[in-house]
Amino acid sequence: QVQLVESGGGLVQAGGSLRLSCAASRSLFSINTMGWYRQAPGKQRELVAAITSGGTTNYADSMKGRFTISRDISKNTVYLQMNSLKPEDTAVYYCNAHDWVAVTWYDYWGQGTQVTVSS
φ, ψ of residue 79 to 5 degrees: the values are -120, 155
Nearest to 82 by CA among 18, 22, 10: 18
Distance CA 12, CA 22 (A): 20
Angle at 63 between CA 62 and CA 64, to 5 degrees: 100
pLDDT by 10s per residue, the chain, length 119? 899 999 999 999 999 999 999 999 999 999 999 999 999 999 999 999 999 999 999 999 988 899 999 999 999 999 999 999 999 999 999 999 999 888 899 999 999 999 999 99
Supply the pLDDT for residue 103: 87
